[in-house]
Amino acid sequence: MKGMKKKFRPLQLTPPQILVLGFAAIIMIGAFLLTLPFASASGMATPFIDALFTATSATCVTGLVVVDTGSHYTIFGQLVIIVLIQVGGLGFMTMATLFAFMLKKRISLKERLILQEALNQSSMEGIVRLIRKVIRYALTIEGVAAVLFAIRWSADMAPGKALYFGVWHAVSFFNNAGFDLFGGHTGVKFVSLTGYVDDPIVNIVAMMLIILGGLGFIVISDLLDLKRTRRLTLHSKVVLTTTSLLIVIGAIVFFLFEYSNPLTLQPLSGWGKFWGSMFQSVTPRTAGANTIDIAAMRQASQFFMIILMFIGASPGSTGGGIKTTTFTILIGAMIAMIRGKEDIVFFRNRLAKDRIFKAITLSMIALFLVIFVAMVLSTTEDHHFLMILFEVTSAFGTVGLTMGLTTQLTIVGKIMIIFMMFVGRLGPITLAYALGPKKEKELFRYPEGKITIG
């Protein structure tokens, strides 16, 4: 009957929903590949929960692992992980756009909207041009770092292996993933870069990769265009200033707290202490590699590291956390309130109210999530609370540092950390938009009321 027929409407997904489903699909494909027997060095299938944990950690560029990457996985398994890291770090829409460029396919309006959401941009203007720059910058930076790593590590291993290690770790560190293969090379599991704590080449190259990956492609583009434009955007000024201050302050704090610690900095030379302090200040900004034993650090250092991990990297980057700009807005709001000012002003620019509300909302959601999951894990995991809080914050900030809890997690613990890594990579607000109802315009406003504060 003609009147009874219903018009078929294809499922209409919003850009946040497409991002959530896209990342989930990539994770599931990666988990399936990692469960295959020939992905494991033992020739036996990896348990699905462990493969899912690893695939989520790689796609969400975190670095938390329940099995040692270098010794547990074959070359095939390692290649699956590094592809997941590259796709997850640059974003699956960026990679899809790369293939579209190669096939000379036109980027549709819907795809531009998704790219805008993925790169956390305020408008679609110049989004395709930015994607071209992202791909070019990423491949150039990773290529140069891979060569430098390969030259350095050729002194410790065969040239072919050094080149493989160079490319693999350049991709891992630039995408702030923190995965490493040195467990298979040294025979010591979960060793990370502890064997290179005082090596200037490894430290400098790794830190530059982490910093460049964490600054965000908008800032890198801004810096490279500086000679032509002769000015930086407000976003770039805030990111560069905040990042520099956090790195310097972090290095000083770690140097002071760990200087006399016999298990971390004390046995090292003066330069060793300097590199150790610097690297541990840079790596909590969502990188995950470490050159000293995190579990051996003093509690004050570990708690300070939790704060750095919660702040994280910058918008539009390969890192997680609440982001440096959010943290700066919160500090700016506090200072403005104390000084009795109505506006938050950075570099002679006043911030819009919606930016401030978004920063507060993001921070509160993130804080509630971390607290809730830490409380749940404190009942399922038999470990002290600081270790649990460290693990949860590391997962949310997509950092990958651990005090040793990851390999001892229960099934419930692994599921909760997988959830936190997923939320941390996509961002709490993106996930909320994807799961929540569509935004509707308010038809009226209620009268203003007053509440006493403080």
Task: Indicate whether 452 belongs to any domain.
Answer: no
- Overall number of domains in the chain: 1
- The mean pLDDT value of the chain amounts to 86
Q: What is the DSSP code string of 109-164? A: HHHHHHHHHHTT-S--TTHHHHHHHHHHHHHHHHHHHHHHHHHHHTTTS-HHHHHH
Task: Indicate whether 449 belongs to any domain.
Answer: no
Q: What is the pLDDT of residue 5?
A: 47
Q: What is the pLDDT of residue 80?
A: 96
- 3-class DSSP state of 232: coil
Residue 126 has pLDDT above 70, yes or no: no
Side chain identity, residue 8: F
Task: Indicate whether 4 belongs to any domain.
Answer: no
Give the separation between CA 141 and CA 128, rounded to whole angstroms. Answer: 20
Residue 57 has pLDDT above 80, yes or no: yes
**Token duo for residue 127:** 């989004």
pLDDT tens track for 226-245? 888 888 889 899 999 999 99
pTM of this prediction? Answer: 0.88
Task: Indicate whether 345 belongs to any domain.
Answer: yes
Residue bearing the bigger pLDDT, 381 or 114: 381
Q: What is the pLDDT of residue 117?
A: 53
Task: Indicate whether 8 belongs to any domain.
Answer: no
Give the separation between CA 399 and CA 61, rounded to whole angstroms. Answer: 8
How many Cβ atoms are within 10 Å of 167's Cβ, its own excluded?
18
Enclosing domain of residue 412? 15-107+121-433
Task: Indicate whether 181 belongs to any domain.
Answer: yes
CA nearest neighbour of 178 among 193, 165, 166: 193
Q: Could you tell me how many residues make up the chain?
A: 454
Q: What is the pLDDT of residue 8?
A: 42
Mean per-residue pLDDT, 370-395: 95
Give the separation between CA 364 and CA 176, rounded to whole angstroms. Answer: 24
pLDDT tens track for 152-208? 999 999 999 999 999 999 999 999 998 999 998 888 899 999 999 999 999 999 999
Residue 88 has pLDDT above 90, yes or no: no
Task: Indicate whether 453 belongs to any domain.
Answer: no
Q: What is the DSSP code string of 316-335? A: TSS--SS-HHHHHHHHHHHH
Q: Specify the range with the lowest mean pLDDT, choosing from 68-72, 91-95, 133-137, 246-250.
A: 91-95
Convert 51-80 to b/e letters by CB count within 10 Å (16 or more is b): bbbbbbbbbbbbbbbbbbbbbbbbeebbeb
Task: Indicate whether 3 belongs to any domain.
Answer: no
